[in-house]
Structure 1
Amino acid sequence: MRLVNNIFSLKASRITRCLLVDFGKKWTIRELAKKADVSVGYTHAIITTLTNMGYVQRNDTDNKLVLLDPAKLLKRWAAFHQYDHFNTFLDYYTFEHEIERFLEKIAERIRKEQYALTSLAGASLVSPYVRPIDVHFYVENKEKEILMSGLLDIKPTAGTGNVRMVIPFDKGVFYGTRQIEGIRVVSNIQLYVDLLNYSARGEDAAKNLYTVMEKEWSKILIGSENV
């Protein structure tokens, strides 16, 4: 029986992310593989590993896969994930003095591009707690970085900028993105793991976001009990 050594490796994290973002959903191996864009064989190995670890089980009624404890799996992933080490950061500077005004510019000028806010700026739209002093957002690749820097009228800087475009370690970070106030933001799951180990302010924002997710999980669990 094939197992994997790291349930949070590049492709394995796509499976983990799908299970967490869509907590409460019942999956077949093929459905999960298609959603995560991972082979069926590798998905089976990940699920076997997660089942052996007690994170996943098959439903008694239809034999589909369900995630048992999202909090436990998320906290383990967050302890492994290192936002500032896994990704590539491209620093820019905007002359906009107000973060809110720059966010409006993002909504207006790059709405047709694939991007997703994360870190404190993303958290400020989901569950405001810590006021951001910069804006981080994922972009697909170097070519998109160049395109968006022109659209947003931002200038590259040798030091740490107040705008940071982030080329992700894997495209899975875009899974579960949603629009908030016209701006695309990563899923709460991705936001939490990005925030937790980023800085003291990030940890505070992550803890606040976690309370939001706990409430969402509770509603899902109560709903499943009433079915």
Structure 2
Amino acid sequence: MLSEDFQAILESALDCRVRAAGTEPGRHVDGWLEMHIEHDVWKLAVEQKAATGSSLAEVRARHDDLGARHPDVVPVLAVPRLSKRERQALRDHQINHMDLAGNVWIRGPGLVVRTEGARPPATQRPTKGRNPFSKKASLVARALLAHPSDAWRVRELADEASLSVGYASEVLRSLVERGYAADTPDGFRLENPVALLMEWAGVYRWDDNEVHSFVVSLGKTELSEKVCGLFGRRGVDCLFTLLSAADRVARYVDHDQVHLYASSLTRELADALRSELYAEPVERGGNLHILKPYYGDAVWYGAEEMDREQSVSDVQLFLDLVHYPVRGPEAAAALLKQRLGARLKLSRDQVRTLREGLGL
């Protein structure tokens, strides 16, 4: 079902009346909207996804097919959050699109719309109750996803996530209100992991982290070992993520990149990277990327150790990969198929729903 937030975005961007057309949703159509501008009416067929996905050519083909079957309809892709790069790619493919930040680009017979958003997405604006995807609150969702069959008393979950009982209770109530968790006689349980991950992926991106990139003349295996050794000698914890972590748990993509979270990146540590590894800092590109975690300590929850090296949890890795531009969606799909789906006890239909919803 199409979120009412997108209807409100169109009304705000165009200063016009927009209403639901009432037509039943179909395959790749989550809602039909009618835009009334003066004496003209345009009908939009809106496909809502949590992310653009990896194949814009497929999106364009679906929209072309829909336009051929319904010549009076303008297809539009609706995504909660679109980066500048993603919006340009969509325009290059001539795909109509909009997001909850107010970015709208639509072309149709007699219709040209382009607005640049200036406000944060609605999903990130304060709402009633705790935001379950904020930095500290995310620990509750992480615990539920890590133990999908367990029922939790509030105090048990608070202890697991190192949160106060009152704070954990507020976050749990927020998850229940959204339908992601259920309050049962046995305790709080994970209710809808698919919807939970889809919304989370819609409000978080890997580049929300502070990224420091370097060029180092080493292969990724040797580079990984030396960076971890350098950090360890200075008491800095690190976690592999993105394709570096995918290599360790669900290898799918050939690459030469090293991505890792670091508990700190001081000037002294950056100097050590330059003096010991001859690492040259760069604004773009590079093959070593140190991430200061957006989620802070929460990113360490559920970390896994392999061969004396630590990687982020499957949940964090999935969230990081979904929007990563270098074959990240493909790696996320492989992770979901090989590990995460089974760990979350998802059915084949649930895995397919999650993949289609995120465009994987």
Instruction: Give the TM-score, by structure 1 length.
Output: 0.83
Which of the residues 142, 155, 173 maps onto 1:48? 173
More strand by share: 2
Determine the C-alpha separation between the residues in 2 that align with 1:39 and 1:106: 36
Instruction: Give the TM-score, by structure 2 length.
Output: 0.54
1:91 aligns with 2:216: no
> Which letter does structure 1 place at the counterpart of 2:341?
E
Which of the residues 153, 167, 180 maps onto 2:277? 153
1:111-122 matches, within 5 Å, as 111=232, 113-122=236-245
1:203-222 matches, within 5 Å, as 203-211=329-337, 212-218=339-345
Aligned residue in 2 for 1:35: 160
How much does 1:149 deviate?
3.0
Larger relative contact order, structure 1 or 2 (CA cutoff 8 Å, min sep 6): 1
Partner-residue secondary structure (3-state), 1:32: helix
Determine the C-alpha separation between the residues in 1 that align with 2:254 and 2:326: 13
Give the % identical residues: 28
Q: 1:68-116 CA deviation, whole Å, 9 max, x = no partner?
A: 22222112211211110x21111122211x2122233345554564110
Larger radius of gyration, structure 1 or 2? 2
Aligned residue in 1 for 2:47: none
Kept in 2, the 8 Å contact 1:116–1:184? The answer is: yes
- For the aligned residues, what is the CA RMSD? 2.6
Change over 3 Å in CA distance of 1:142–1:49 after alignment to 2: same
1:101 aligns with 2:101: no
Determine the C-alpha separation between the residues in 2 that align with 1:140 and 1:110: 10
Determine the C-alpha separation between the residues in 1 that align with 2:267 and 2:341: 35
How much does 1:145 deviate?
7.5
Which runs of no fewer than 5 residues in structure 2 stay unpaired?
1-126, 347-360
Aligned residue in 1 for 2:314: 188
Determine the C-alpha separation between the residues in 1 that align with 2:302 and 2:314: 8
How much does 1:208 deviate?
0.9
Q: 1:1-54 CA deviation, whole Å, 9 max, x = no partner?
A: x95252212222121122112322322212222332332222111111111222
> Which letter does structure 2 place at the counterpart of 1:14?
L
Q: 1:101-148 CA deviation, whole Å, 9 max, x = no partner?
A: 223334555456411000111111110001232111001123398177
Change over 3 Å in CA distance of 1:54–1:109 after alignment to 2: same
Change over 3 Å in CA distance of 1:152–1:119 after alignment to 2: farther
Greater shift in the superposed pair: 200-209 or 30-39 = 30-39
Kept in 1, the 8 Å contact 2:216–2:280? The answer is: no
Aligned residue in 2 for 1:141: 264
Change over 3 Å in CA distance of 1:32–1:150 after alignment to 2: farther
Determine the C-alpha separation between the residues in 2 that align with 1:109 and 1:192: 27
> Which letter does structure 2 place at the counterpart of 1:19?
L
1:82 aligns with 2:208: no
